[in-house]
């Protein structure tokens, strides 16, 4: 059989990527979306009025890594141009070169690949959506909720999905399909429907250990963004992580990530004045929110329940269900701190297109798709998980007055702070290679596994703090007790939560 009639549940980032990848002569791709379409007007209008109850994180900071940026540049240049025309920004490698390397930095051709595409997510999404709507064979059904899957059995008894049940204006309808792509996002119900039908999907789940808080701002007329380079646009102070996200049309957002164990800070940081006080106390952010420079354009959006999750739909080489392909957050969720979710979705969509082209057998579609996705993105997933677990431990240990780091923990800390971080601030080639991994263009640890690079890092470590002095960052922000004093917060902890995390 061939997948001529494809139904996609959800027109978020994964749904749109699915349509981009799958739209081909001979295929019909229908996206069914519970939310209304974007407004007809400008990027500002989309940000201000587009109702997206199906995407709770729509107004959190978003950026596309080079993996996705390059895909757009190579396969969909018209779409990339439309995004740039709407004000989306290309943050290039050279924009992130630290001041310790600026003088010796010489651009290379390859540096153009290490580009982040950034804007308000509403802008990225509504421009993508407009473009996707022009693709041959692609159709949107909006304001329509999928409320179930239609199921049958293949000749060998394997369950197979033959369509979806939708709720349109209170009326139930059945839509048939050769293939259902479930891009319903992190709250998709597909796995629940499968479970109700006796199909159990195995999952790996780990908490990300943080909550996300985002506020948007706009530069006042005639004002410019502060210069970059001296202090990082994103860093980890232990009790808080911050990130500045330049966006389209004079806008930018700031995201603060707070460890789950910081109950008091979590509770207060949603207040705009507390949020801004935190930002002003951290030197890298302070110039960004000077009152004479910017106006806030939003409240503080908060988001919890952040986790990493990997779902398995092929067991021992056999798909547990046919003609049903989960994609995006419904298949793999990751901690948003790493900014990889949208790139994962794009990689998955391309993998599905290859699988559909390679075979007419639905079992083979599933096998090839899930194998391709695992081969490509699992290393990044594992590496993020490792970093998350270490960060959760660090945040919890940092709060424990009785905690004494053992020799192994002290060495690991020093390896990161005194070897890796300093090597990346003192060697432009190492920085380039590390960014390659960050952007999902090579294995995340490939750069460090190269003997020559490892040797360079060890040499930096051996040189010692004194001789590396010039490459250390200046103080990036107040210590926890200083910040808590400033915010007039009690530093006491929720010990139950703390013990669980520790
Ligand atoms: C706070 C936060 C910040 C992030 N920042 C970044 C970042 O900077 N860079 C990055 O790459 N990734 C980031 N991510 C991850 C990224 O947002 C997700 O990976 C991405 O949105 C996944 O796309 P999706 O299409 O699977 O889900 P979504 O984009 O959530 O879309 C799901 C769609 O399905 C629709 N839907 C759901 N159920 C139904 C139904 N039953 N019927 C019809 N429609 C339905 C919803 O309305 C929605 O439109 C972030 C995530 C969070 C939470």
Answer yes or no: do 468 and 412 share one domain. yes
Answer yes or no: do 288 and 332 share one domain. no
* Whether residue 243 has its Cβ less than 6 Å from ligand 1: no
Give the domain-ending residue among 271, 303, 335. 303
The mean-pLDDT minimum among 249-258, 266-275, 295-304, 391-400 falls in 391-400
- Domain with 374 in it: what CATH number? 3.50.50.60
For residue 190, what are the contacts with CB-CB under 8 A and spacing of at least 6?
9, 149, 182, 184, 324, 326, 330
Is 180 inside a domain boundary?
yes
Counted domains in the chain? 3
Is 86 inside a domain boundary?
no
Mutate to test the pocket of ligand 1, among 62, 91, 118 (most ligand atoms within 8 A of CB): 62
Q: Would you say 350 and 310 are in contact if contact means Cβ atoms under 8 Å apart? A: no
Q: Which residue's CA lies nearest to atom 15 of ligand 1?
A: 341
Please check the confidence at residue 399 and state whether its pLDDT lies above 80: no
Answer yes or no: do 192 and 264 share one domain. no
499: confidence class by pLDDT, cuts 50, 70, 90:
low
DSSP state of 203: E
Is 147 inside a domain boundary?
yes
Q: Would you say 330 and 14 are in contact if contact means Cβ atoms under 8 Å apart? A: yes
The beta strands (E) that lie in 17-81 are given as 28-32, 62-64
For residue 145, the cross-strand partners are: 167
* pLDDT 10s digits, 183-219: 999 999 999 999 999 999 999 999 998 999 999 999 9
Higher-confidence residue: 177 or 397? 177
Atom of ligand 1 nearest to the CA of 147: 41
Please check the confidence at residue 229 and state whether its pLDDT lies above 90: no
397: confidence class by pLDDT, cuts 50, 70, 90:
confident
Please check the confidence at residue 79 and state whether its pLDDT lies above 70: yes
405: confidence class by pLDDT, cuts 50, 70, 90:
confident
Please check the confidence at residue 392 and state whether its pLDDT lies above 90: no
Atom of ligand 1 nearest to the CA of 343: 11
Burial 136-150 (b: 16+ CB within 10 A, else e): ebbebbeebbbebbe
**Residue 116: how many other CB atoms lie within 10 Å:** 23
Say what the pLDDT of residue 188 is.
97
Answer yes or no: do 444 and 485 share one domain. yes
CA dist., res. 215 & res. 60, Å (int): 8
Answer yes or no: do 364 and 231 share one domain. no
Q: Give the distance, in angstroms, between the CA of residue 87 and the centroid of all CA atoms in the same chain.
A: 20
Is 58 inside a domain boundary?
no
CA dist., res. 149 & res. 154, Å (int): 15
Mean pLDDT within 230-249: 93
Provide the mean pLDDT of the chain. 94
Q: Which residue's CA lies nearest to atom 35 of ligand 1?
A: 10
Say what the pLDDT of residue 497 is.
59
Mean pLDDT within 332-342: 96
398: confidence class by pLDDT, cuts 50, 70, 90:
confident
Answer yes or no: do 431 and 355 share one domain. no
Is 166 inside a domain boundary?
yes
7: confidence class by pLDDT, cuts 50, 70, 90:
very high
Answer yes or no: do 162 and 19 share one domain. yes
Question: Could you tell me the distance, in angstroms and rounded to a whole number, from the CA of residue 421 to the centre of ligand 1?
Answer: 32
Mean pLDDT within 404-423: 92
* Whether residue 367 has its Cβ less than 6 Å from ligand 1: no
Q: Give the distance, in angstroms, between the CA of residue 254 and the centroid of all CA atoms in the same chain.
A: 15
Question: Could you tell me the distance, in angstroms and rounded to a whole number, from the CA of residue 37 to the centre of ligand 1?
Answer: 15
Closest CA to 7 of 140, 130, 133, 129: 140
Please check the confidence at residue 336 and state whether its pLDDT lies above 70: yes
Burial of 269 (0-12, 13-18, 19+ CB in 10 A): buried
Q: Would you say 453 and 447 are in contact if contact means Cβ atoms under 8 Å apart? A: yes
Closest CA to 377 of 329, 443, 313: 443
Please check the confidence at residue 251 and state whether its pLDDT lies above 70: yes
Answer yes or no: do 214 and 201 share one domain. no
* Whether residue 337 has its Cβ less than 6 Å from ligand 1: no
Say what the pLDDT of residue 173 is.
95
CA dist., res. 423 & res. 304, Å (int): 34
Chain position carrying tokens 């019909």: 28
Say what the pLDDT of residue 395 is.
76
pLDDT > 90 fraction of the chain, expressed in percent and rounded: 86
* Whether residue 56 has its Cβ less than 6 Å from ligand 1: no
Answer yes or no: do 201 and 328 share one domain. yes
Helix segments in 179-262, DSSP class H: 190-196
Mean pLDDT within 246-251: 97
DSSP state of 95: G
Mean pLDDT within 106-117: 96
CA dist., res. 413 & res. 409, Å (int): 6
Q: Which residue's CA lies nearest to atom 21 of ligand 1?
A: 13
The mean-pLDDT minimum among 298-302, 372-376, 397-401, 409-413 falls in 397-401
* pLDDT 10s digits, 81-104: 999 999 999 999 999 999 999 999
Say what the pLDDT of residue 500 is.
62
321: left (phi over 0), alpha (psi -120 to 50) or beta: beta
Say what the pLDDT of residue 227 is.
87
DSSP string, 293-357: TEEE-S--EEE---EEEEEE-EETTEESSBSEEE-GGGTEE--GGG--HHHHHHHHHHHHHHHHH
Helix (H, G, I), strand (E, B) or coil at 496: helix
* Whether residue 190 has its Cβ less than 6 Å from ligand 1: no
Is 29 inside a domain boundary?
yes
Give the domain-ending residue among 263, 279, 303. 303
* pLDDT 10s digits, 136-172: 999 999 999 999 999 999 999 999 999 999 987 788 9
Say what the pLDDT of residue 396 is.
77
Say what the pLDDT of residue 340 is.
97
* pLDDT 10s digits, 439-480: 999 999 999 999 999 999 999 999 999 999 999 998 999 999
H-helix or E-strand spanning residue 222: none
Answer yes or no: do 32 and 140 share one domain. yes
- Domain with 294 in it: what CATH number? 3.30.70
pLDDT > 70 fraction of the chain, expressed in percent and rounded: 98
Give the domain-ending residue among 349, 384, 419. 384
DSSP string, 102-149: HTT----GGGGGS-EEEE-HHHHHHHHHHHHTTSTTEEEE-S-EEEEE
* Whether residue 434 has its Cβ less than 6 Å from ligand 1: no
Helix segments in 444-502, DSSP class H: 446-449, 451-467, 480-486, 495-501
Is 372 inside a domain boundary?
yes
CA dist., res. 401 & res. 416, Å (int): 23
Say what the pLDDT of residue 494 is.
58
Answer yes or no: do 316 and 299 share one domain. no
DSSP string, 415-453: IIIIIIHHHHHH-HHHHHHHHHHHTTSS-TTHHHHSHHH
Is 261 inside a domain boundary?
yes
Mutate to test the pocket of ligand 1, among 52, 329, 334 (most ligand atoms within 8 A of CB): 329
State the residue range of the domain holding 146: 5-38+134-205+307-384
Answer yes or no: do 312 and 185 share one domain. yes
**Residue 113: how many other CB atoms lie within 10 Å:** 18
């Amino acid at each position: 059989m061939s997948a001529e009639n494809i139904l996609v549940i959800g027109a978020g980032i994964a749904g749109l990527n699915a349509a981009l990848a799958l739209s081909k002569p001979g295929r019909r791709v229908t996206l069914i979306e519970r939310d209304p379409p974007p407004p007809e007007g400008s990027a500002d209008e989309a940000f201000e009025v587009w109702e997206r109850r199906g995407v709770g994180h729509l107004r959190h900071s978003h950026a596309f890594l080079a993996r996705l940026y390059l895909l757009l540049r190579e396969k969909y240049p018209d779409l990339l141009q439309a995004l740039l025309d709407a004000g989306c920004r290309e943050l290039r490698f050279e924009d992130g070169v630290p001041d310790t390397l600026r003088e010796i930095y010489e651009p290379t051709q390859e540096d153009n690949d290490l580009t982040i595409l950034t804007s308000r997510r509403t802008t990225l999404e509504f421009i993508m959506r407009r473009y996707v709507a022009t693709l041959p064979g692609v159709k949107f059904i909006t304001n329509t909720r999928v409320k179930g899957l239609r199921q049958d059995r293949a000749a060998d008894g394997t369950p197979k999905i033959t369509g979806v049940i939708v709720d349109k204006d209170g009326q139930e309808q059945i839509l048939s399909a050769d293939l259902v792509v479930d891009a319903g996002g992190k709250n998709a119900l597909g796995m629940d429907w499968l479970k109700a039908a006796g199909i159990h999907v195995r999952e790996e789940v780990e908490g990300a250990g943080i909550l996300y808080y985002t506020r948007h701002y706009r530069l006042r007329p005639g004002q410019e963004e502060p210069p970059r380079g001296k202090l990082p646009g994103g860093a980890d102070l232990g009790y808080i992580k911050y990130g500045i996200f330049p966006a389209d049309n004079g806008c930018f957002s700031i995201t603060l990530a707070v460890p789950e164990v910081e109950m008091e800070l979590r509770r207060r940081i949603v207040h705009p004045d507390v949020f801004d006080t935190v930002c002003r106390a951290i030197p890298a952010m302070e110039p960004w929110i000077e009152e004479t420079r910017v106006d806030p354009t939003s409240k503080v959006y908060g988001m919890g329940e952040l986790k990493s999750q990997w779902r398995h739909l092929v067991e021992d080489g056999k798909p547990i269900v046919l003609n049903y392909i989960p994609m995006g957050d419904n298949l793999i969720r990751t901690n948003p701190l790493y900014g990889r979710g949208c790139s994962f979705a794009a990689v998955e969509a391309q993998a599905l297109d290859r699988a559909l082209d390679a075979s007419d057998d639905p079992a083979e579609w599933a096998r090839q798709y899930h194998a391709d996705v695992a081969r490509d993105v699992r290393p990044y997933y594992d590496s993020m998980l490792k970093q998350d677990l270490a960060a959760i431990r660090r945040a919890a240990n940092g709060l424990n007055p009785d905690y004494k780091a053992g020799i192994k923990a002290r060495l690991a800390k020093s390896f990161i702070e005194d070897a890796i971080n300093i090597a990346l601030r003192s060697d432009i080639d190492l920085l380039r290679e590390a960014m390659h991994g960050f952007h999902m263009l090579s294995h995340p640890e490939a750069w460090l596994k190269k003997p020559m690079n490892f040797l360079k890092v060890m040499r930096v470590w051996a040189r010692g703090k004194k001789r590396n002095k010039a490459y250390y960052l200046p103080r990036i922000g107040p210590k926890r007790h200083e910040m808590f004093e400033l915010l007039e917060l009690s530093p006491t902890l929720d010990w139950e939560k703390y013990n669980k995390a520790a």
